[in-house]
């Protein structure tokens, strides 16, 4: 009886940080941005306003097992509607034909120090290619009770994408684009 009581006490005393599980991305505290070189001078930045995803990780960020992201291409926002309309066209994201940009992980390797090499399929402009990106755990916390009391974790990565690999090529725009992903997951 004592052994059972001790085992029960020990199990209840373990912190919830060790629990892994799929957590939804909190869009209100996350962001998906991009930058591309403009006519060899500066970078033009933009963001996507509509995205979702899941991260399967422990709430302490010591283990990451998968990451999936879906972005609605039509939600592109550079602050200039005329440019946004062009970016939605077949010249770039072709949001009518390829309405989503997705990344689905297939393999995760722990590199140590809260960094994970995540390999998966990035589908952009209707073309899927395999990428491996470093995903960094940026922190963990707990929301106050009045906000639900959920455990939260932060993650970030940058995709370096050759646009021509995905059938996107436009004069004056550099072939390499960077997609910055900053995610907060609510467990």
Which among 30, 24, 33, 26 has a CA at the least distance from the CA of 182? 30
- β-strand partners of 44: 36
Distances (CA, A) of 28 to 21, 40, 47, 67: 21, 33, 13, 18
According to the model, what pLDDT value does residue 172 have? Answer: 79
According to the model, what pLDDT value does residue 91 have? Answer: 87
Q: How far apart are CA 182 and CA 4, in angstroms?
A: 44
For residue 66, how many other CB atoms are within 10 A of its CB? 16
Distances (CA, A) of 87 to 21, 31, 48, 82, 175: 36, 19, 12, 9, 14
Structural domain spans, the chain: 19-186
Q: What is the dihedral of CA 81, 83, 84, 86, to 10 degrees?
A: 130
According to the model, what pLDDT value does residue 20 have? Answer: 62
Q: What is the pTM of this model?
A: 0.86
pLDDT confidence bin for 12, thresholds 50/70/90:
very low
The distance from CA 40 to its chain's CA centroid, rounded to whole angstroms, is 28
pLDDT digits (tens, 9 = 90+) for 141-162: 999 999 999 999 999 999 999 9
* Least confident span in 17-31, 59-73, 162-176: 17-31
pLDDT digits (tens, 9 = 90+) for 27-70: 999 999 999 999 989 999 999 999 999 999 999 999 999 999 99
Query: Which residue blocks in the chain are alpha helix, DSSP H?
Result: 2-13, 81-88
Options 3.50.50.60, 2.40.128.110, 3.40.50.12240, 1.20.5.510; CATH of 19-186: 2.40.128.110
According to the model, what pLDDT value does residue 120 have? Answer: 98
Q: Is the confidence at residue 13, as pLDDT, over 50? A: no
């Amino acid at each position: 009886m004592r052994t059972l009581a001790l085992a029960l006490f020990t199990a209840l005393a373990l912190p919830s940080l060790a629990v892994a599980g799929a957590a939804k991305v909190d869009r209100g505290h996350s962001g998906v941005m991009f930058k591309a070189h403009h006519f060899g001078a500066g970078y033009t930045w933009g963001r996507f306003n509509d995205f979702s995803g899941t991260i399967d990780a422990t709430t302490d960020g010591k283990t990451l097992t998968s990451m999936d992201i879906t972005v609605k291409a039509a939600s592109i926002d550079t602050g200039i509607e005329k440019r946004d309309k062009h970016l939605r066209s077949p010249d770039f994201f072709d949001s009518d034909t390829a309405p989503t940009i997705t990344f689905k992980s297939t393999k995760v390797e722990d590199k140590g120090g809260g960094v994970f090499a995540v390999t998966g399929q990035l589908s952009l402009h209707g073309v899927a290619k395999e990428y491996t990106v470093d995903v960094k755990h940026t922190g963990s916390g707990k929301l106050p009770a009045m906000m639900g009391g959920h455990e939260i974790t932060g993650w970030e990565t940058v995709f370096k994408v050759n646009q021509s690999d995905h059938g996107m090529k436009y004069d004056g725009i550099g072939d390499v684009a960077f997609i910055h992903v900053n995610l907060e997951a609510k467990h």
